[in-house]
Structure 1
């Protein structure tokens, strides 16, 4: 991912627990701000989501988009969950990843994201939006995993 934004957070949960929350798309609307619905469209032979349709309502930005996922995960839940945009009318790029690493009895989660929309946006504002999306997602993920 070129010109992406990233941030990290430590979550008081095992990597497998964090991974379970990330993989549970049916419940994204409960912790991922502005996601009103997520629907798994296709899965691989192991049951991991391959393509997922999301409905986004972020006030002025509303969209339905599809992401393709890659699960490079070990048995203990560590590794990388990455995605790339497949389909959207408003968003031109939405490529990212969660990197899960053990940190004692906790998990270090690094979220990396690159967003581009079909309207002109100054680079500094795009980075600010990416940072806001990342921070909101990490806070929501942490709260969901630790509750």
Structure 2
């Protein structure tokens, strides 16, 4: 798999509030522009989603895929892997939250996507950067709004 794209943002809220927004998949279509529908398929013993199906429409990129989530016991990070997808053959990612002394949270988003269609590395990295930047900005707006 290719190199990970790694982006961070500061959000004016406690880590618990940020993680609650990240974990509320049912609400994603309300604030994630590309998420046309999101369905929690299974829930783990911790009460958080274990498998989730996403229908994504980001203009030229459309996909239906299922991710499996692994939630850290401390509530400060979540990792995921692709279970199935139409145009993706692999996806791994994570959100890591660090509480700051001023009460804000630094959120780091790592993402690696491998598609079934050929894509020049430069374009792939630009697409991953756009995805992570947009996701972090939308998350910030949702939490702080």
TM range (shorter): over 0.9
* Runs of 4+ off more than 3 Å: none
Kindly indicate whether the alpha-carbon contact (under 8 Å) linking 1:12 and 1:106 is maintained by their aligned counterparts in 2.
yes
Give the equivalent residue in structure 2 for 1:85. 82
Q: Pairwise CA RMSD of aligned residues? A: 1.2
Q: Distance in 2 between matches of 1:26 and 1:98?
A: 18
Alignment of 1:48-127 (within 5 A): 48-74=48-74, 77=75, 79-104=76-101, 105-127=103-125
Secondary structure of 2:113's counterpart equals strand
**Structure 1: runs of 5+ lacking an equivalent:** none
Q: Distance in 2 between matches of 1:140 and 1:73?
A: 25
Q: Distance in 2 between matches of 1:73 and 1:122?
A: 38
Give the equivalent residue in structure 2 for 1:45. 45
Kindly indicate whether the alpha-carbon contact (under 8 Å) linking 1:73 and 1:81 is maintained by their aligned counterparts in 2.
no
Kindly indicate whether the alpha-carbon contact (under 8 Å) linking 1:5 and 1:113 is maintained by their aligned counterparts in 2.
yes
**Structure 2: runs of 5+ lacking an equivalent:** none
Secondary structure of 2:72's counterpart equals strand
Q: TM-score, length-normalised on structure 2? A: 0.95
Q: TM-score, length-normalised on structure 1? A: 0.94
Kindly indicate whether the alpha-carbon contact (under 8 Å) linking 1:49 and 1:69 is maintained by their aligned counterparts in 2.
yes
